[in-house]
Structures are given as C-alpha cells and as structure tokens.
Amino acid sequence: MESISIFEIIKVGIGPSSSHTMGPWRAALFFLDLLRKNSQLNKVAEISTTLFGSLAKTGKGHGTDIAVILGLSNEDFKTIDTDKIGEKIEEIKSKGSISISADHSISFNYDKHILFEYSKSLDYHPNGMRFEAKLIDGSLISQEYFSVGGGFVVKQNTGHVATNPITSKYPCHSQKDLLDNCNRLNLSISELVMLNETAWQTEAETRKQALYIWEEIKNCIFRGINKSGMLPGGLKVRRRAYDLNEKFLKGQKFANVADWIKAIKNGPKDFDTVNKWISVFALAVNEENASFGRIITAPTNGASGVIPAVIMYAHCFTQNFGEDEIVKFILTAGEIGTLYKKGATISAAMGGCQAEIGVSSSMAAGALTEALGGRKEQVCQAAEIAMEHHLGMTCDPIGGLVQIPCIERNSMGAIKAITASNMALESDSSTARLSLDNVIQVMWETALDMKSKYKETSEGGLAKIPVNIAEC
C-alpha cells in the first residue's frame, strides 16, 4: 500500500465540495493532460462530460458542473480569483466556447456538453464521470474518472490515489503500525510523521508548509467573519459568523487577522464564551466553503470547518499554543486522516457524513491531544472517541447544497473533538477497550451497510423535507 503525504489530506481547496467540486475539477485537468500527452489537445473539436450517481444527483447543488467547466478551461482552484468564478462561467456560456489551451478553443453548449445521468452509477464508485473528446477527424477519446473523497481522483483500472506513488521510510497503515514505529524509534506521533514526510520534502519544508496551512486557516476564518448576507443556491441561508462576531466583539472592526485574534484572546474566557467562539470559527469557514471560497480541505470541504475551529480554539484559549504546537497539530491531524483514507473512506458518497465530519473530528481530537502534550496512546484514544460518536451519521444535504445541515455539523464536530481530547488527556489509555483500528473498521462496515439514500444523494433524511429553493 502506497504512503500518503499529510498534505494530500490537509490542503488548500475551493468550495463547496472536495468530492463534487475539487475532484471533478482535477479530473477535467487530468483529461486535458491525457490529450496533451497524446498530442491530441489541439485536434479536439468538442468535449462532453457525463456525471453519474451522486455526482449527478447533487451535482448542481455542489457546483460540479461549474467545476468541470473551469477545469476544462485550465483554471487552477488553488490560484483562481474566487470572486470572479461566476463572471467566468457566464462568459463561457455566452460565448459558447471554452479555451482548453492557450491557442485552442472549442465549442461549448451547457445542455449538450454537461450531462447528468441521474439513474445510473458506474460500478467502481458512486462519484463517477466520463469525459469524451471528439477530434476534428471524427474519432473519439474517452476516459472515466472517480472522485473518491478529499479531492482524490482515480481511474478504475489503476486505483491509484496519487499520481506518483511513494512509500515512506516507516509506513503507517493502522494505529498498530503508528504505535509500533513510535515505540521502536522512541518518537512522538508528530515526530514520526515529520520523519516520514521526508519522503516528499525536507523537515524544514514540511514545517513551512504546515505553517502555510495555518496562515490559510486564519485568513479563511477572517474572511468568513467579515462577510454578511445570504449564501448562494436559493435556500436563503443567512451567514451567521459575521453577526456573531459583531455581537461578541461589540461591533469592533479590525484591519487584519492578528489584531482580531488579539481581541479574542483579551476577551472573556468563560465556558459559554469559548464555546460560542468555537462555533463562530467553524461557521466562518463553512460559509466561505458554501460560497465557492478558498478553504483548507481537511480531509474534505464539507468538513473543512472542524480542524480550523479546533486549532483556532487552542491558539486563542489554551496556554503556550505557538508555532511548534501548530506544526504538531497539523502533522498529527493529517496522519490520522491517512489512516481513515487507507482503512475506510473519506467520501460521503461511500460512507455518509461519518466519513467527513466524523473523520475530521477524529483528526482534530487526536491532533489537539498531541499538541497539548498527550501521550501517543492518548492521541489514538482521543481520535477513537471522536469517531465513536459519529458512527452512522448520514449525508443528507438539502437541495444538494453544502449548507443544511452541513455548516452546523462542523460546529458540532469541533465541540466533540475538543471533548474527546479532554477525556483522553484525563484517562488512563491502557484501560481503553476500543482502539482507533477498531473504530475505523466499524466505520467502514457501517458505510457498507448504509443505504445509498443516506450517502450524498439527497434522496433521504433531511434532504427529503420539502424546502422551496428559488435557484439551484
């Protein structure tokens, strides 16, 4: 089994969905690369994309169609000006053409070239899509891709989760591997992860990237608390982070994120206040996510508010939580995420919301425990506790939008993570009756047993409640 860098699990992304937005976006880019490598890109007359299963059923709500169009336009979700996405899409639709390279444009008709196959799924995974390029000479080039969660894209015939498979020096595919390696080398979990990341880059580069992630987290939260109004999509969901921030800071305005954080640190620290700030942090991120904003995928976009909320909580309300602790947090969170990726799933279309909010809460719980000085056994216990209390959670977004219940669930996941960490830090982990490996296995078994209507299809649960959607 190949190793996965923690920066494949925690990375810069764009909303609203890692599996339904980022994945199809990357797949479109992969298809262009395929045509380019075969010297066929400038011979293309038109490209059609068929979305199957969950991608079709919730695709418009998740912006899958928009993601495909932007991918075929060679846009990079890491750098695109998110405020101009709507303008870009309207320009393509009005012109009736897409520039698939610097010197080649092809015709584009939304109704003809973006197809939603609601009644059929491809065999390998519910998030399947097929790209077909018709060349000028009339020949067809076709390729199927699968968005398997967290922005990962695979081809059925390879099953690869990375384009260049790498095996780290001390591979960890389970809690047992993790603890065995730590004990053998006398390292903490974050120290082991740092060592393993040298398969991809130096320790200095790993630290720099972790702190870059932290900067992006702070900036995302700050953007979220400074935006008001309605979220797009037609559900008429109002942004709440802005109003709550205004209330808690009594209308004070801040020019930068550092001053804003300083004001929070200097404010009240009673339980009610801290608890409310945790929700503000999570809401701010997921409101950005719902608006095609730039966020940190951790491990998915739908769950992107949990880890930011927990790490911001630790930074603002615990003692001596500086850069070293932040790096420990991110390294540990990412490693726990890889265990779920390898041992179960991080795709709601495969496992329901337990695979997203549940996994992110587990990641955050273990990471917080590590950063606060917990023993490696306590880290694993915290991660286990957090997932234990998310087992069976369904993915049932109303209107296929990552809004109701998704945004609030991030606040709940963050609170559970902090609670799980507190319990583990005050426990004798040697008396624990369940391991992280146990709960990952049960989570996967639960995913297999769960009906498809509870797996990001908007066919069951809360998604069945009649809600008038003005535009979607």
CATH number of the domain where residue 148 is located:
3.30.1330.90
**85 and 179 belong to one structural domain:** no
pLDDT digit string, tens, across residues 294-320: 999 999 999 999 999 999 999 999 999
What DSSP character marks residue 54?
A: H
**96 and 183 belong to one structural domain:** no
**245 and 317 belong to one structural domain:** yes
Q: Which amino acid is at 466?
A: P
Burial of 254 (0-12, 13-18, 19+ CB in 10 A): middle
Structure tokens at 131: 């790209």
Average pLDDT over every residue of 109-122:
94
How confident is the model at residue 158, as a pLDDT? Answer: 59
Q: Is residue 273 part of a domain?
A: yes
The Cα–Cα gap between 410 and 386 comes to 13
**111 and 227 belong to one structural domain:** no
> Does pLDDT of 205 surpass 80?
yes
> Does pLDDT of 235 surpass 80?
yes
* pTM for the model: 0.92
Q: Is residue 161 part of a domain?
A: no
The Cα–Cα gap between 103 and 105 comes to 7
Q: Is residue 341 part of a domain?
A: yes
> Does pLDDT of 470 surpass 80?
no
Average pLDDT over every residue of 401-427:
97
Q: Is the omega angle on the peptide bond into residue 405 within 30 degrees of 0, that is, cis?
A: yes
Radius of gyration of the chain (CA): 22
| Cβ-contact 149, 18 below 8 angstroms | yes
Band of the pLDDT at 467, cuts 50, 70, 90?
confident
Q: Is the omega angle on the peptide bond into residue 268 within 30 degrees of 0, that is, cis?
A: no
The full length of the chain comes to 472
The Cα–Cα gap between 436 and 383 comes to 7
pLDDT digit string, tens, across residues 254-301: 999 999 999 999 999 999 999 999 999 999 999 999 999 999 999 999
pLDDT > 70 in the chain, percent = 97
The Cα–Cα gap between 51 and 295 comes to 25
Q: Is residue 2 part of a domain?
A: no
Domain that holds residue 385: 175-464
Band of the pLDDT at 134, cuts 50, 70, 90?
very high
Tell me the backbone φ, ψ of residue 247, rounded to 5 degrees. Answer: -65, -45
Q: How many domains does the chain have?
A: 2
> Does pLDDT of 161 surpass 60?
no
Q: Is residue 284 part of a domain?
A: yes
**412 and 315 belong to one structural domain:** yes
**287 and 436 belong to one structural domain:** yes
Which of 122, 154, 186 terminates a domain? The answer is: 154
Q: Is residue 55 part of a domain?
A: yes
**127 and 204 belong to one structural domain:** no
Residue 255: CB partners within 8 Å, gap ≥ 6? none
**201 and 73 belong to one structural domain:** no
**181 and 119 belong to one structural domain:** no
Which of 154, 187, 220 terminates a domain? The answer is: 154
How confident is the model at residue 469, as a pLDDT? Answer: 58
**95 and 202 belong to one structural domain:** no
**332 and 371 belong to one structural domain:** yes
Band of the pLDDT at 156, cuts 50, 70, 90?
confident
**109 and 209 belong to one structural domain:** no
What distances in angstroms separate CA 288 from CA 124, 167, 194, 215, 258, one per listed residue?
Answer: 32, 35, 30, 16, 19
Q: Is residue 384 part of a domain?
A: yes
| Cβ-contact 460, 353 below 8 angstroms | no
Q: Is residue 342 part of a domain?
A: yes
> Does pLDDT of 73 surpass 90?
yes
Averaged pLDDT of the chain: 94
The Cα–Cα gap between 382 and 362 comes to 7
Which of 121, 154, 187 terminates a domain? The answer is: 154
